């Protein structure tokens, strides 16, 4: 099956039930997408499939056949997506482990809803856990990325 990852086409001939997370990390060497819980509860593995945020640990390769997958490495060539810029300016990460998933979730939210309310940000980001508790900075960064201020 064919799959496009970060705008590069690939042919996958392995087990169709393999999680996208393992494919991008183990076969493509894209280490930005993290393994957290393995059950779709923490969001560390969030990637975009045709622009929608999904958990890579519970999304099979069969589910992404013929689709476009974007990892954190493909979000912005130079790391300057508005969400990434806001993350840096707001000093969001503490340990940083969950941040790629958080950024991917926030980017998908803003692509769909460019000016979310704080409640919409909270509701949308709820599937991404930050064990360090950086939620206030996360909300501030998403708000900044949505308004540019």
- The CATH number of residue 143's host domain is 1.10.150.120
Strand order in the sheet with 52-55: 8-11, 2-5, 68-70, 46-49, 52-55
Q: Are residues 66 and 91 in the same domain?
A: no
9 class by beta-carbon count within 10 Å (0-12 exposed, 13-18 middle, 19+ buried): exposed
- On whether both 17 and 65 belong to a single domain, the answer is yes
Phi, psi of 87 (to 5 degrees): -60, -45
pTM here is 0.96
Spatial separation of the C-alpha atoms in residues 48 and 50, rounded to whole Å: 6
Residues 43 and 69 in one domain: yes
Q: For all residues of the chain together, what is the average pLDDT?
A: 96
Nearest Cα to Cα of residue 86 among 148, 39, 41, 132 = 148
**Contact criterion met (CB below 8 Å) for 67 and 52:** no
Say whether both 103 and 139 belong to one domain. yes
DSSP 8-state class, residue 62: G
Residues 103 and 46 placed together within one structural domain of the fold: no
Q: Band of the pLDDT at 6, cuts 50, 70, 90?
A: very high
Reported confidence tier of residue 148, pLDDT bands at 50, 70, 90: confident
Number of domain units in the chain: 2
Same domain, residue pair 71 and 112: no
Among 75, 94, 121, residue at a domain's last position: 75
CATH value at residue 54: 3.10.20.30
* DSSP designation for 94: S
Which pLDDT value is given to residue 147? Answer: 86
Domain limits for position 124: 82-147
Q: Which of 47, 75, 103 is the last residue of a domain?
A: 75
């Amino acid at each position: 099956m064919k799959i496009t990852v970060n705008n590069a086409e690939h042919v996958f001939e392995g087990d169709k039930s393999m999680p996208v997370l393992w494919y991008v990390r183990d076969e493509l060497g894209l280490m930005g997408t993290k393994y957290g819980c393995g059950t779709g509860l923490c969001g560390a593995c969030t990637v975009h499939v045709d622009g929608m945020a999904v958990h890579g640990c519970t999304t099979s390769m069969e589910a992404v056949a013929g689709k476009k997958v974007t990892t954190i490495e493909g979000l912005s060539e130079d790391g300057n997506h508005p969400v990434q810029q806001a993350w840096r300016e707001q000093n969001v990460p503490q340990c940083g482990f969950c941040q790629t998933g958080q950024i991917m979730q926030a980017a998908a939210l803003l692509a769909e809803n460019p000016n979310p309310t704080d409640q919409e940000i909270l509701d949308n980001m709820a599937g991404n856990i930050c064990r360090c508790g950086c939620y206030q900075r996360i909300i501030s960064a998403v708000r900044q990325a949505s308004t540019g201020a």
